Amino acid sequence: MITGFIHFSFFDLLDILLVAFIIYQVYYLIRGTVAIKIFLGILAIYLLWKLVDAFQLNMLEEILGQFIGVGVIALLIVFQNELRQFLLMIGNQNVFRGRSLRFIQKLFPGTITEENKDTRALVSACETMQLSCTGALIVVANSSDPENFISSFTRIDAALTAPLLESIFFKNSPLHDGAVVVKNGRISSARGVLPVSDNVKLDPGMGMRHRAALGISELTDSFAIVVSEQTGGLSVAHEGKLLHNISGRELAGILQKPVDSDGN
């Protein structure tokens, strides 16, 4: 296909779309962090370099070219955490499965059903802990394994029941400090140390449980449920978003029908 004096083919369009996709994914990973400012600074220098090249300012072009060449190594150092998250996301073969299922559900309602027989136990335990303001952090695994991102935990592998969850988070229990991971309808581990979100836009008064819930939801497609020790409020984090002060019924609905990536 030729438009004016510019030759534009299908592969040119594909090239543009792929570059746009990669840029969007990088932005999605670093938005709300300090890294976004560094990224914009490097992008500005790169655009200046291309502008200098177009005007054939040879000396300035040589200086900026050397900086861009070394900048690749600088990028690997500065963005090592973001690159690690990006590669983990690409390496996860189920990365698009959740979004695809929700898209198909919208097109063909009723074709895909997701039953979670353990939702009632989770909600019941959370509602009981709300009444006593018992702090809790529960990670419900989806397609990816959250334990790959947990630095330490105590293996349990027990059937999921409300009394067991409540006893784990009882303040005198040796396992109460940390996160419980629920996988395949069983309590997989407890006392887990989760990665904390480094989003600079978060409320400074947000507690560590909520920050940890956001952190694990940014790295995996898991649901992270938080019961506040101060207020007894119930919250859930998913895909880097946190819903505050929800009811037990709302929590059950979220667990049975995953929220969309835009938070709906």
Per-residue confidence in pLDDT tens, the chain, 264 aa: 444 556 778 888 888 898 888 877 777 666 655 566 777 777 788 788 888 888 888 888 788 777 777 766 766 776 666 666 666 655 554 444 444 444 444 444 443 333 466 889 999 999 999 999 999 999 999 888 888 888 888 999 999 999 999 999 998 899 999 999 999 889 999 999 999 987 878 888 889 999 999 999 988 889 999 999 999 999 999 988 899 999 999 999 988 864 443 444
In a domain, 55, yes or no: yes
Instruction: Identify the domain containing residue 55 by its residue range.
Output: 2-91
Cβ distance 113 to 120 under 8 Å? no
How many CA atoms within 13 Å lie on the side-chain side of 36? 13
Q: Do 74 and 160 belong together in one domain?
A: no
CATH (domain of 180): 3.40.1700.10
Both 49 and 128 in one domain: the answer is no
> Is 111 among the domain residues?
no
Residue 160 lies in a domain: yes
Is the residue at 100 inside a domain?
no
Is 128 in the same domain as 86? no
Predicted pLDDT at 113: 38
Residue 142 · residue 223 · CB < 8 Å: yes
Whether this model's pTM surpasses 0.75:
no
Residue 248 lies in a domain: yes
Residue 97 lies in a domain: no
The CA distance from 255 to 122, in Å, is: 10
pLDDT at 167: 95
Residue 16 within a domain: yes
Letter for the amino acid at 166?
E
What pLDDT shows up at residue 105?
46
